[in-house]
Amino acid sequence: MLILTVLVFLISFTLPAQKIFYVMGTYAVVDLPSEKEAYRVYRYLKRLEEKLSAYRKDSDIYRLNIKAGESPIRVSKETVELLKLSILIWKKTYGYFNVFHKGKGSLSDLKIKGTEVFLSKKGMIVDPDGIGKGFAVEKAYRYISTDWGFIGVAGDMKVWGHRRILGIKNPLNGGVLMEMINKKDLCLSTSGNYYKKHIKKRDPKLVQITVVYENCTFADAYATALFAMDRKTRRRFEKENPKVGILELYTDGSFYMNKSFENYFEHITIR
């Protein structure tokens, strides 16, 4: 069964080569100018999955975790890029974004030299779940380089070169919380415990958080981190990162939407 946090509909007179693929343990929706380009993106996403999966025994992440506290391993440039971005975002989110499963270890215990990576403490486990899909979407977008397109993997998506109706799911009633039309290229990422059950949130009234930003890697990781923050810390992050759009849904059905979120869209309809 296809479950996507972001509901998407194309506004265009063209006939897109929309394809649905199973990749990275979920479903990906790809709309591009041709079917050939859609399959190129699929193959690229599969190659990333082979490197970044925490479950494939031949992946960089799996081998890195197995060798934690023992010896460094050589990994792909994509894996190095993901880990370096994780360090940056860890700093920007006051440590709330932590790529280590259940907080085992610290990013200070992650050693990177060229394409050699070492987890210096035994038992450390890298878990890219809170950033991996957004990273994959952003990398696929840069890889394909088409004039327009859409790539969505579970709750992370990128739309560029055209306007599109985007809908955000309301997990409280199974309907649609709101619909928007983008006025520029953007990434949208939604986080909630129904998707990322390992996140320990500090705001009991928060049900779901959606982030809109220009880069999908950051949008995904920011949504993960913001969902774990208390409300005061979220407002601090918002002040320090004025280009990040934030939409918060609470248990009573009310929501908070900052001005930056509104600025990414030319039309917003509340359902």
- With CA atoms as reference, report the closest residue to 61 among 108, 131, 155: 131
Q: What integer pLDDT is reported at residue 106 of this predicted model?
A: 72
86 C-beta neighbours (distance < 10 Å), count: 24
Instruction: Give the model's confidence band at 8: pLDDT under 50 very low, under 70 low, under 90 confident, else very high.
Output: very low
For 162-209, the pLDDT digits (tens) are: 999 999 999 999 999 999 999 999 999 999 865 554 556 689 999 999
Chain mean pLDDT for the chain = 90
User: What type of residue sits at position 228?
Assistant: A
DSSP state of 130: G
In total, the chain counts a number of residues equal to 271
Residues paired with residue 257 on neighbouring β-strands, in sequence order: 247
Q: Name the pTM for this structure.
A: 0.91
Residues paired with residue 167 on neighbouring β-strands, in sequence order: 7, 179
Dihedral (CA of 16, 22, 25, 26) sign? positive
For 13-53, the pLDDT digits (tens) are: 344 568 999 999 999 999 999 999 999 999 999 999 999 99
For the chain, give the percent of residues with pLDDT over 70: 89
pLDDT at 249 over 80: yes
Do residues 245 and 261 touch, judged by C-beta distance below 8 A?
Answer: yes
Do residues 223 and 189 touch, judged by C-beta distance below 8 A?
Answer: yes
CA atoms within 13 A on the CB side of 139: 21
CA-based angle 135:81:240, to the nearest 5? 70
Instruction: Give the model's confidence band at 155: pLDDT under 50 very low, under 70 low, under 90 confident, else very high.
Output: confident
Determine the 3-state secondary structure of 143 from DSSP.
helix
Give the Cα separation of 108 and 157 in Å (integer): 30
- With CA atoms as reference, report the closest residue to 172 among 137, 143, 214, 205: 205
Taking residues 68-87, what's their average pLDDT? 97
Q: What integer pLDDT is reported at residue 14 of this predicted model?
A: 42
